[in-house]
Structure 1
Amino acid sequence: MKKNAAKAVKPEAETADVFSPEHFLRAITDVGTMLATVYDRRTGLTRNQTRIVVELLERDGQTQTELANALLIHKVSVGIYVSELEQMGLAERRNHPTDGRAKCIYLTPLLHANKHIGQDHYQRIHAAAIDGIGREDYLTMLKAMERMRDNLVELDASEKAAEKAGAKTD
């Protein structure tokens, strides 16, 4: 089991501009890092192993390329993480149903029988993370985060369209 020692760093309250991009980036990164660190420590999985498990829980039987594309991880790295999960008895490769050259990756019955353990860990971590936050504040935060995600999806799409248009004019 690997030991994670991430630590959130609070900016100096008097000098920090809470509306600065740097403050936002630090705040959102620290929360994500701490959630991942505590979860990873409790489960014994690495962040990317967990990401693969979560993706396969949503859509089991993907190829290595499909997983790589879904998670934005290099295909070779996905292969390494899947091999590690196989060694733990949590994932297995099976022949693709129609493409004899490809393999599909499935979660094992062992993982399915024990997935409640990871879910329980995350439920307790979530409860600790939102301790002291009122219901209305929590809902406002979720709504704001969803709006930020939607804004970033729009930005990403417009940048991709601009890149594509630029590539056509070259």
Structure 2
Amino acid sequence: MAKNNNATATDMDPALGDPFSPENFVRTITELGTMLATIYDRRTGLTRNQTRIVIALLEKDGQTQTELANALAIHKVSVGIYVGELEALGLVERRTHPSDGRAKCIRLTPLLHAQKHIGRDHYAAIHGAAISGIDEKDYLTMLKCMQRMHDNLLALDAREKDAGKT
């Protein structure tokens, strides 16, 4: 999408600068993500990276520390620290890998499964607060635009990786 050349000075909040600037876009997206995570972290008592590990395990339980590190782009040692913290809370456990006795699989515990609805309820309440006052059509348009941006960035990433191979 090109910059709206019909935008006037009154359309732009001087505190934000040019609403079409890359800096404004990154700041807005980053601040929104930070607020969502901050509120969720405060409600659950987990850190952001602990939450990321739990979510990854909810999607695919039994991953190794290395698999989690790769999936979340977190250093393997850091994942080990977060897993240790989650173990101390009784939310995950390490089990011997079924085919590699040297590796450990990280598994969610029955305690986490019994309490996961609490996290989902927090997500739902935060989502509801975040979208309050936004028209359904605008919300769906926003999601469609965000998906398009994601797809555009995936394509850019693939092109850059391919260019780096030559």
TM-score of the aligned structures, taking structure 2 as reference length: 0.91
SS in 2 for 1:105: strand
Q: 2: CA distance between counterparts of 1:14 and 1:72?
A: 36
Gaps of 5+ in 1: 1-11, 166-170
SS in 1 for 2:94: strand
Alignment of 1:20-39 (within 5 A): 20-39=21-40
User: Residue in 2 aligned with 1:67?
Assistant: 68
Q: 2: CA distance between counterparts of 1:162 and 1:74?
A: 26
Indicate yes or no: 2:135 matched with 1:155.
no
User: Residue in 2 aligned with 1:131?
Assistant: 132
Give the Å deviation of 1:14: 2.1
The Cα RMSD (Å) is 0.9
SS in 2 for 1:40: helix
One-letter amino acid of the counterpart of residue 111, structure 2: L
One-letter amino acid of the counterpart of residue 138, structure 1: Y
Gaps of 5+ in 2: 1-11
User: Residue in 2 aligned with 1:57?
Assistant: 58
TM-score of the aligned structures, taking structure 1 as reference length: 0.89
Runs of 4+ in 1 over 4 A off after TM superposition: none
Q: 2: CA distance between counterparts of 1:122 and 1:116?
A: 10
Q: 2: CA distance between counterparts of 1:89 and 1:68?
A: 21
Summarize deviations over 1:108-167 as a string: whole Å, max 9, x none.
0000000000000010000000000000000000000000000000011111111111xx
Q: 2: CA distance between counterparts of 1:93 and 1:163?
A: 38
User: Residue in 1 aligned with 2:13?
Assistant: 13
Q: 2: CA distance between counterparts of 1:41 and 1:156?
A: 33
Q: 2: CA distance between counterparts of 1:137 and 1:67?
A: 35
Q: 2: CA distance between counterparts of 1:43 and 1:163?
A: 41
Q: 2: CA distance between counterparts of 1:71 and 1:43?
A: 20
Give the Å deviation of 1:68: 0.3
Q: 1: CA distance between counterparts of 2:116 and 2:165?
A: 42
User: Residue in 2 aligned with 1:140?
Assistant: 141
